[in-house]
Structure 1
Amino acid sequence: MDPRLPYHQRPKPALVDEVNIDESRPERCVGIGGDLDEKIREQLVILLKQNVHLFAWSMADMKGIDPAITSHELNVDSTYKPMRQKRRKLGADKAQAVNEEVEKA
């Protein structure tokens, strides 16, 4: 899949089966390839069920992860005053092309 393509233009998998890997929590499902060989499919489901405790289903499941790893900050000097940039106008032909693209979506 080309990550440069918009999400709605990316190819969809041919067939995906939803499999419940936690019997006590029916909402915990994962998608696996529906066209997998039956033997491989069974082994994959067994592996996923054995390792269900490794999945993070919510933020609460990710205890112990350092926020420095999962968050970011802008490298901006706080002594500088914020500044609004000057508005840049497009030429007539570019403005028309932009408007046409906006109307397509």
Structure 2
Amino acid sequence: MAVGPCKPLPPSMTISSFSGDVYRPAGYATLRVALEEGSRRMEREIDFIIMDAPSGYNAILGRPAIAAFQMVASTYHLCVKFPTPFGVATIRGDRAGASKCFEINARLHTDYMDPRDHALPPVEQNDHVTVADGKTVFISKNFPDNEKPALAALLFEYFDVFAWEPSDMPGIDRAVAEHRLSLKPGVAPVRQKKRASAAKNNMRFEKKSKNSWPQDSLEKSPTHCGLQMWWW
């Protein structure tokens, strides 16, 4: 197919493929597309975005093309209908061709389906440094050795400016620390029904809650408050 020079697109425009990869299009070209069924024929000029990406499809007609041809598509019947000056035309898809395109597209992106390719990198090793009052910070082992003493001395000197626990943040505005739900005005709240739990689970929950947060921090800090569940 002879395609003229591509027209430029905004530099910030990107397109995601079926595999999730992001590509930057080379531009777009306006082509005259004809669809026909026998004597029923319709032609329209369609803008195609040009991409250098592996795919099992030569071209994909999107919503602008569907609107230009006034198509009505049915995925169940694998066909589209559109009006022409000589009546309504019907174009039916080929199930064998569609399956072949799907298989080709799947083979092109087999490597991207391996979950090992998306494994998280190992966490770097850190050195524990005690600054004051049992407060511990971590310094990466990749940090230059000749600069670690100076950094540790700086943290020791200004350890009081850090918020080590919620009780160290009494001046935070409640509007910043609290989460507000987007509720519909005029709707009455409904209390969620109490759901009983097994006795062994209750003991486990109670033990975990006591170990998670000190009681004095929960009482003194304005950044933590009891949350009662409501449903609308």
Band of TM-score, shorter chain: 0.5 to 0.7
Task: Write the distance in 2 (CA, Å) between the matches of 1:55 and 1:12.
Answer: 28
> 1:68 is matched with which residue: 148, 166, 175?
175
Q: Note the C-alpha offset of 1:81.
A: 5.0
Could you tell me which residue of structure 2 aligns to residue 49 of structure 1?
156
Report whether the alignment pairs 1:20 with 2:130. yes
Task: Write the distance in 2 (CA, Å) between the matches of 1:17 and 1:29.
Answer: 10
SS of residue in 1 equivalent to 2:179: coil
The structure with the greater share of residues assigned to helix is 1
* Runs of 4+, deviation exceeding 4 Å: none
Instruction: Quickly say closer, same or farther: Cα 1:66–1:10, change in 2 above 3 A.
Output: same
Task: Write the distance in 1 (CA, Å) between the matches of 2:137 and 2:155.
Answer: 9
Task: Write the distance in 2 (CA, Å) between the matches of 1:61 and 1:31.
Answer: 20
Task: Write the distance in 2 (CA, Å) between the matches of 1:65 and 1:81.
Answer: 31
SS of residue in 2 equivalent to 1:56: coil
Q: Which amino acid aligns with 1:40?
A: E
Q: Note the C-alpha offset of 1:78.
A: 4.0
Task: Write the distance in 2 (CA, Å) between the matches of 1:12 and 1:31.
Answer: 16
Task: Write the distance in 2 (CA, Å) between the matches of 1:41 and 1:30.
Answer: 12
SS of residue in 2 equivalent to 1:21: strand
Q: Which amino acid aligns with 1:32?
A: I
- Whichever of the two has the greater Rg, that structure is 2
The structure with the greater share of residues assigned to strand is 2
> 1:11 is matched with which residue: 121, 127, 130?
121
Q: Which amino acid aligns with 2:123?
A: P
Q: Deviations over 1:49-82 (max 9, x none)?
A: 1110111111111111111111111121241257
Task: Write the distance in 1 (CA, Å) between the matches of 2:186 and 2:128.
Answer: 53
Task: Write the distance in 2 (CA, Å) between the matches of 1:11 and 1:61.
Answer: 33
Task: Write the distance in 2 (CA, Å) between the matches of 1:13 and 1:62.
Answer: 29
Could you tell me which residue of structure 2 aligns to residue 29 of structure 1?
136
SS of residue in 2 equivalent to 1:12: coil
Q: Which amino acid aligns with 1:66?
A: D
TM-score by length of 1: 0.58
Task: Write the distance in 2 (CA, Å) between the matches of 1:31 and 1:12.
Answer: 16
Higher RCO (Cα < 8 Å, 6 or more apart): 1
Could you tell me which residue of structure 2 aligns to residue 89 of structure 1?
none
Task: Write the distance in 2 (CA, Å) between the matches of 1:19 and 1:68.
Answer: 34
Task: Write the distance in 2 (CA, Å) between the matches of 1:65 and 1:15.
Answer: 33
Q: Which amino acid aligns with 2:144?
A: D
Q: Which amino acid aligns with 1:74?
A: L
Q: Which amino acid aligns with 2:126?
A: V
